Amino acid sequence: MVPGLPLPPGMVDMIIRLTVLAVLGLALANALHAVIVFVRFAHQVARRAPHGGLSFWLPAFGSMRDARIWLGHWRAFFESGDLALIALRLDARLVISRHVHLTVLSHTWAIALSAIASHSLI
């Protein structure tokens, strides 16, 4: 421990455990949101493409031209001005940014606690 810092022996360990539980809970909520966004996205692809969007998910390339056409279809799909797709892109950005924020925050917290405690606590 840091000299002169009055901490009960198990306090730092308890802080680490509670932080881990909080981070896991937030990560689970974020994962559920990501699944919901993916299901909405798959529904939009199925609604817009023939055969339920099967050609989007499982392409069969006979040449490089087919691959370019497939990529062009995806690009046109993502650049669409449809309000549902705009909302999906916003939700996907939210999920990704929340995940990055949670990762950075948890690592920063772990580094701060490591600085307080000089030896292994877990």
Rounded Cα distance between 93 and 89, Å, is 6
C-alpha closest to that of 105 among 28, 50, 7, 27 = 27
pTM of the full structure: 0.71
Per-residue pLDDT tens for 23-59? 889 889 999 999 999 999 999 888 888 788 888 888 8
Domain boundaries, the chain: 11-116
Per-residue pLDDT tens for 89-118? 999 999 999 999 988 887 887 777 777 765
